[in-house]
Amino acid sequence: MKKVIVTTTINPPTEAIERFDARSDWTIVVIGDLKTPKDYKLKNGLYISPAEQEKYDQKLSDAIGWKCIQRRSFGLLWAHDMKADVVAVIDDDNIPYEGWGEDLLLGKEVEVNYYDTDLPAFDPVGATNEKHLWHRGYPLQLVPKRDYSRIKKQKIICDVQADFWNGDPDIDAVCRMIYAPECNFEPGFFPLAANKPAPFNSQNTFLKGSLLKDYFLFPHVGRMDDIWAAYYVQARGAKVVFNKASVYQQRNIHDLVVDMKKEYIGYENNFELLKAISHDPETLLAYLPERSKQAFALYRRHFNA
């Protein structure tokens, strides 16, 4: 089985990257950006320079733009070309625990803590011991309405395995400003899934290689790039299972006001977007700026050969 790790960075190899690079059972692909050190090197994995990306697809590079985390979509294309069966998308501040990436749930029938909700979306963070927090990209209008009382054991086939992250979790800027949490998610709450779509991110997430055509980190929509990717693949039928924390997130420095501004497009649109794509996944395109739609079309060309 071919297993590929994908990320992008502007930093020299971090502790997390070095640990992922040391794994003999995975190949890491690091996508460079304009600020990435020119002498960036890995011991085992692949570093893809800006020049290599432009040579690979200049039009897509122009449509995505530079100095943005969405460059990692080039890593998804590299994984596709490598015929990856499993792709793990990570951040360079996700320090993996012992056993990371082992005993994967993908493609298996998994017994989960299964939640039923009448809301248009499910928040996985509130189903844990950190009930006061919520996942980035979950509609703010729904936070006070969350109800986890309808729970049962159920078996589902896992297409996406979204592992959690101890330390500084993936919550939105509003939530982080209020609580500034340091989390230790209790394993007993996992694995978990729901009858409605849930936000999952592009850090510490495992996907079937067959999903890559529909999984694209949309540029020019701020910090909704991976959230809208998550909602889109679920609208097209992918089933996500949230699993116990397998990394410690030692979060890079962020300006929370800047983060909040980048999340505003989600605060404004996520509720209506979820209702729209539940009837037709392609209605997501109506929420994208033109340059983002162009980038998605250019990305998908690579899967049509």
What's the structural domain count of the chain? 1
CATH number at residue 23: 3.90.550
Q: For residues 139 and 200, give the distance between their C-alpha atoms in angstroms, rounded to a whole number.
A: 13
Instruction: Please report the pLDDT score of residue 251 as a whole number.
Output: 76
Q: What is the domain extent for residue 118?
A: 3-303
For the chain, list residues with pLDDT below 50. none
- 161, 104 Cβ separation under 8 angstroms: yes
Instruction: Please report the pLDDT score of residue 58 as a whole number.
Output: 98
Q: For residues 234 and 59, give the distance between their C-alpha atoms in angstroms, rounded to a whole number.
A: 28
Query: pLDDT tens for residues 217-273?
Result: 999 999 999 999 999 999 999 999 999 999 998 777 779 999 999 999 999 999 999
Give the up-direction half-sphere exposure of residue 273: CA atoms within 13 A in the CB hemisphere.
Answer: 27
Instruction: Please report the pLDDT score of residue 304 as a whole number.
Output: 81
Instruction: Please report the pLDDT score of residue 305 as a whole number.
Output: 58
